[in-house]
Amino acid sequence: MPEEMSISVNGQSRVPPGFRFHPTEEELLHYYLMKKVSDEKIDLDVIRDIDLNKFEPWDIQEKCKLGSTPQNEWYFFSHKDKKYPTGRRTNRATAAGFWKATGRDKVIYSSFRQIGMRKTLVFYTGRAPHGQKSVWIMYEYRLDDKTSNTNTFNSMEEMTTYEDGWVVCRIFKKKNQQKTVDGANSSSITADSKTQMLHSGKNGGLEEILQHMGWTCKQENSRRNSINITTTNNSTNYMKFHPIGTAMGNGLHVRLMQPTNQDSKTPQSLTNNGSLFDQACEVQSCYGAIDEASVTNQGSGNTNSVYDTEPNHINWTALDRLVASHLNGQAESSKQLACFNNLNMGSCSLPDHVLQLSRLLSNESYHTSQDYTREMDLWSFTHSSSSSPEPSGHI
């Protein structure tokens, strides 16, 4: 005789002992969220509504407890509608902190059909930009635009609120602090560059990008160790350099740069972050190599170009902007990065690590702009380069 086990008894949620709630992403989207947006009657006690602005993650943990089996993840519905006055960004701030989204939404499939998206967020305590990263992570699932219920909005609002509406969320604590190289993006790198660059620290993300350069630069390292270096607090990818000298390394005429203070923040000594600077210098030395080769072919006055009008100077501001805007997924930057991607098609007289970076960044781009033509001229130096970089740059 089938035994009825109700989830709700006297208004209180009751899960039978031994059972725990661990739905698949498909179940979350297709069953629970779908019913929620259609306002269908289901036993919604399993997943409760939570106002994200009112509760801290540890509060949610308490509120969304299910049954007696120990949990390490908690589920709830949330309605996204609060925005910052500036525009499209959803306000996910709480009393103690805020949820910050990573830039990459993952597509969720069911039987090879896209049914929704998943956004990853991390909880920071305090207030930006001084927030302290916590171990709390949230996966926010939303239905695919076509299937989500937006018929309450008129067509104009639909455009601006395509991410609005009900979402179903799962929060959990990060399992380990170990940094791993993202398998999809990693390319083969030399052993010593790997050990040199792979540190578990605050700058893991930038390290990953830079380590694809695979530039060992042993000669530069020994020089850099004796250089007093400062960097700005907290913004690890905004290092600006001014030349302090040049060095010969690996057959390339390399311009050695020292970072300058970007803004009024008190600079910190980089003694802890020596590795980051090493890698940043490696980036610089790579571009330094390109510098030399492109001296006369650069005629464009494009202010967004990585090269400004002065031939022997990298416009780091532009490069930073480029990387940041690309990571934020803007279309325009992807066009510019397409020029990096174009390197793959040209001859390999460029250092391989530059190609790797371009490949990495291009692969991450969500826009498929193929407008190379304007930027192609920038890189035509590949054929006119006189100093061919050492093929040991191979990775």
Partner 1 sequence: MGDDHNINLPPGFQFHPTDEELIVHFLYRKAKLLPCHPDVIPDLDCYPLDPWELNGKALAGGNQWYYFSRSTLNRVSANGYWKPVGADEPIVTSTCKKVGMKNYLVFYIGEAPTGIKSNWIMQEYRLPDSGSSSRSSKKRGQSKIDSSTWVLCRVYEMNGGSQGSFCDEDDNGPELSSLDEVFLSLDDLDEISYLPN
Residue numbers 115-134 binding partner 1 by CB under 8 A: 120, 122, 127-129, 131, 133
In terms of CB distance, is 228 or 328 closer to partner 1? Answer: 328
Of residues 48-107, those binding partner 1 (CB under 8 A): 53, 68-70, 84-86, 89, 91, 93-95, 98, 100-104
Find, among 262, 260, 264, the residue nearest to 241 by Cα. 260
Binding mask 215-244 for partner 1 (x = CB under 8 A): --------------------xxx-------
Find, among 213, 182, 197, the residue nearest to 395 by Cα. 213
Question: Mutual orientation of helices 331-341 and 352-364 as an angle, nearest 10°?
Answer: 150
270: its two tokens: 């980089």
**Is residue 206 a contact point for partner 1 (CB under 8 A)?**
yes
CB-CB neighbours of 354 under 10 Å: 22
Instruction: Identify the H or E element spanning 276.
Output: helix 274-293
Of residues 329-368, those binding partner 1 (CB under 8 A): 364
In terms of CB distance, is 90 or 315 closer to partner 1? Answer: 90
Q: Is residue 217 within 8 Å of 248, Cβ to Cβ?
A: no
Candidates 79, 80, 179, 223; binder of partner 1 (CB under 8 A) is 179
Question: Mutual orientation of helices 352-364 and 274-293 as an angle, nearest 10°?
Answer: 110
Distance CA 108, CA 124 (A): 26
Cα-Cα-Cα-Cα torsion 28, 30, 35, 36, nearest 10 degrees, comes to 50
Which segment (17-25, 276-284, 307-315, 351-359) binds partner 1 by CB under 8 A? 17-25
Say how many residues touch partner 1, by CB under 8 A: 73
Q: Is residue 281 within 8 Å of 288, Cβ to Cβ?
A: no
Q: How far is the CB of 27 from partner 1 (least distance, A)?
A: 5
**Is residue 9 a contact point for partner 1 (CB under 8 A)?**
no
Contacts for 157 with CB less than 8 Å, ≥ 6 apart: none
In terms of CB distance, is 91 or 349 closer to partner 1? Answer: 91
In terms of CB distance, is 146 or 175 closer to partner 1? Answer: 175
Q: How far is the CB of 239 from partner 1 (least distance, A)?
A: 13
Q: How far is the CB of 67 from partner 1 (least distance, A)?
A: 9
Candidates 144, 194, 204, 372; binder of partner 1 (CB under 8 A) is 204
27: its two tokens: 């179940």
Q: How far is the CB of 385 from partner 1 (least distance, A)?
A: 31
In terms of CB distance, is 124 or 379 closer to partner 1? Answer: 124
Contacts for 59 with CB less than 8 Å, ≥ 6 apart: none
Distance CA 2, CA 184 (A): 47
Cα-Cα-Cα-Cα torsion 183, 188, 194, 200, nearest 10 degrees, comes to -10
Binding mask 294-333 for partner 1 (x = CB under 8 A): ------------------------------x--xx-----
In terms of CB distance, is 212 or 335 closer to partner 1? Answer: 212
Which segment (206-214, 303-311, 366-374, 377-385) binds partner 1 by CB under 8 A? 206-214
